[in-house]
């Protein structure tokens, strides 16, 4: 399979998943900035294109780069993976994934989630401020939901809950 993996990553988790996926499949990785500079012809020879983007306030960063092109890529295997700080079974993950593709696009492309983590040292200044504000809101919020309580405890500092096993469903889809 001739696979291209394009990724948008701020602190490295999404890139790490791109590298793991490339190792496991023999695919080629490309930063979104390089992919944005390519013309349509460049993508013609790939049998499969996967886009990975990090979760930012319930949206997948740069996913529009992918979703605005895939109508022209029907016939290829197409997938998005989102990497966020929420665990795979986190309460907002499904909502985030379900709104990325239109009903028609869901017939020929798939969306996956891989849990990443938080790295305050590598975040931009703006991202760090936004995450600290979000962590403070969660801490103040009174909730009985154990998943939300756990999230409130986790987001105040850096952590890494990434694992290559979260790529298994994507690999199965690509190889089917
Ligand atoms: C401003 C901001 C908003 C975020 N929003 C979400 C979110 O809605 N859901 C989530 O699971 N993670 C969220 N995260 C966490 C990142 O998606 C997470 O740290 C991810 O692993 C970053 O990937 P990267 O290392 O490839 O940049 C947010 C992080 C920042 C800085």
Q: Which CATH superfamily is domain 3-120+159-175 in?
A: Flavodoxin domain (3.40.50.360)
Residue among 111, 105, 22 at smallest CA distance from 60: 111
Q: Return the domain boundaries, the chain.
A: 3-120+159-175
Q: Which residues line ligand 1 (CB under 6 A)?
A: 9-14, 54-58, 83-86, 116-118, 123, 127, 130-131
User: Residue-wise pLDDT tens for the chain (176 aa)?
Assistant: 899 999 999 999 999 999 999 999 999 999 999 999 999 999 999 999 999 999 999 999 999 999 999 999 999 999 999 999 999 988 789 999 999 999 999 999 999 999 999 999 999 999 999 999 988 888 888 888 888 888 888 888 999 999 999 999 999 999 99
Instruction: Output the CA 85–ligand 1 centroid distance in Å.
Output: 5
For ligand 1, atom 31: residue with the closest CA: 127
Atom of ligand 1 nearest to the CA of 124: 31
Beta strands in the chain (DSSP E): 3-8, 28-31, 48-56, 59-60, 77-84, 110-115, 117-118, 159-160
What global pTM score does this model have?
0.96
């Amino acid at each position: 399979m001739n696979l291209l993996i394009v990724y948008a990553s701020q602190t490295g988790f999404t890139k790490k998943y791109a590298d793991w996926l490339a190792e496991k499949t023999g695919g080629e990785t490309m930063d979104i900035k390089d992919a944005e500079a390519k013309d349509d012809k460049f993508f013609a020879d790939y049998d499969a294109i996967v886009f990975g983007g990090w979760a930012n306030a319930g949206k997948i960063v740069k996913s529009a780069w992918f979703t605005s092109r895939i109508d022209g890529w029907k016939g290829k295997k197409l997938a998005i993976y989102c990497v966020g700080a929420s665990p795979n079974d986190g309460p907002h993950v499904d909502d985030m994934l379900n709104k990325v593709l239109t009903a028609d696009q869901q017939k020929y492309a798939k969306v996956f989630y891989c849990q990443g983590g938080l790295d305050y040292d590598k975040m931009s200044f703006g991202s760090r401020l936004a995450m600290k504000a979000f962590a403070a809101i969660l801490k103040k919020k009174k909730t009985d939901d154990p998943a939300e309580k756990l999230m409130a405890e986790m987001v105040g500092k850096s952590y890494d809950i990434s694992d290559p096993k979260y790529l298994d469903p994507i690999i199965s889809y690509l190889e089917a």
